[in-house]
Amino acid sequence: MSTIEFEKNLEKYAQLIAEVGVNVQKGHTVVIQVSIDQAPLARLVTAHAYKLGAAEVILQWTDDFIQKEFLTHADSDRLENVPQYRIDQTDDWVSKGASRISIVSANPDALAGVDTDRVATYQSATGKALMNLREATQANRVSWTVVAAAGKEWAAKVFPDLATSDEQVAALWKEIFKTTRIDKEDPVLAWKNHDETLANKAAELNKEQFTALHYTAPGTDLTIGLPKNHLWEGAGSFNARGEKFMANMPTEEVFTAPDANHVDGYICSTKPLSYAGTTITSMKFTFKDGKVVDFSAEEGQDVLAKLLATDEGAKHLGEVALVPDPSPISQSGIIFYNTLFDENASNHLALGSAYAFNLQGGTEMSQEELKAAGLNRSQTHVDFMVGSAAMNIDGIKADGSRVPIFRNGDWA
The footprint of Zn ion (CB under 5 A) covers 253, 255, 319, 321, 350, 383
Nearer to Zn ion, 46 or 269 (CB): 269
Q: At closest approach, how far in Å is the CB of 164 from Zn ion? A: 34
Q: At closest approach, how far in Å is the CB of 339 from Zn ion? A: 8
Nearer to Zn ion, 15 or 137 (CB): 137
Nearer to Zn ion, 383 or 394 (CB): 383
Q: At closest approach, how far in Å is the CB of 248 from Zn ion? A: 7
Q: Cβ distance 245 to 143 under 8 Å?
A: yes
Q: At closest approach, how far in Å is the CB of 65 from Zn ion? A: 28
Q: At closest approach, how far in Å is the CB of 32 from Zn ion? A: 21
Helix (H, G, I), strand (E, B) or coil at 4: helix
Nearer to Zn ion, 25 or 206 (CB): 206
Q: At closest approach, how far in Å is the CB of 54 from Zn ion? A: 27
Nearer to Zn ion, 159 or 355 (CB): 355
Instruction: Please report, for residues 139, 307, 315, 318, the alpha-carbon distance to residue 382 in angstroms, rounded to integers and kept in the order given.
Output: 16, 9, 11, 9
CA 73/CA 113 separation, integer angstroms: 13
Nearer to Zn ion, 255 or 287 (CB): 255
Nearer to Zn ion, 19 or 319 (CB): 319
Using CA atoms in the order 272, 277, 327, 138, what is the torsion angle rounded to 10 degrees?
Answer: 120
Which one-letter DSSP state was computed for residue 208?
H
Nearer to Zn ion, 133 or 171 (CB): 133
Query: Apex CA 273: angle with CA 178 and CA 316, to 5°?
Result: 120
Q: At closest approach, how far in Å is the CB of 11 from Zn ion? A: 29
Nearer to Zn ion, 131 or 162 (CB): 131
Nearer to Zn ion, 44 or 257 (CB): 257
Q: At closest approach, how far in Å is the CB of 117 from Zn ion? A: 25
DSSP string, 15-45: HHIIIIIS---TT-EEEEEEEGGGHHHHHHH
Nearer to Zn ion, 48 or 100 (CB): 100
Residue 212 β-bridge partners: 225, 396
How far is C-alpha 230 from the chain's CA centre?
19
Helix (H, G, I), strand (E, B) or coil at 213: strand
* Residue 127 main-chain phi, psi, to 5 deg: -55, -45
Q: Cβ distance 348 to 383 under 8 Å?
A: yes
Instruction: Please report, for residues 115, 177, 209, 343, 390, the alpha-carbon distance to residue 221 in angstroms, rounded to integers and kept in the order given.
Output: 35, 36, 21, 20, 12
CA 402/CA 255 separation, integer angstroms: 19
CA 56/CA 47 separation, integer angstroms: 11
Instruction: Please report, for residues 321, 348, 378, the alpha-carbon distance to residue 227 in angstroms, rounded to integers and kept in the order given.
Output: 15, 18, 17
Q: At closest approach, how far in Å is the CB of 318 from Zn ion? A: 8
Q: Which has the closest alpha carbon to 176: 199, 132, 146, 210?
A: 146
Q: At closest approach, how far in Å is the CB of 348 from Zn ion? A: 6
Q: Cβ distance 253 to 344 under 8 Å?
A: yes
Instruction: Give alpha helix (H) positions in 81-217.
Output: 84-95, 116-129, 131-138, 152-158, 165-179, 187-208
Q: At closest approach, how far in Å is the CB of 381 from Zn ion? A: 6
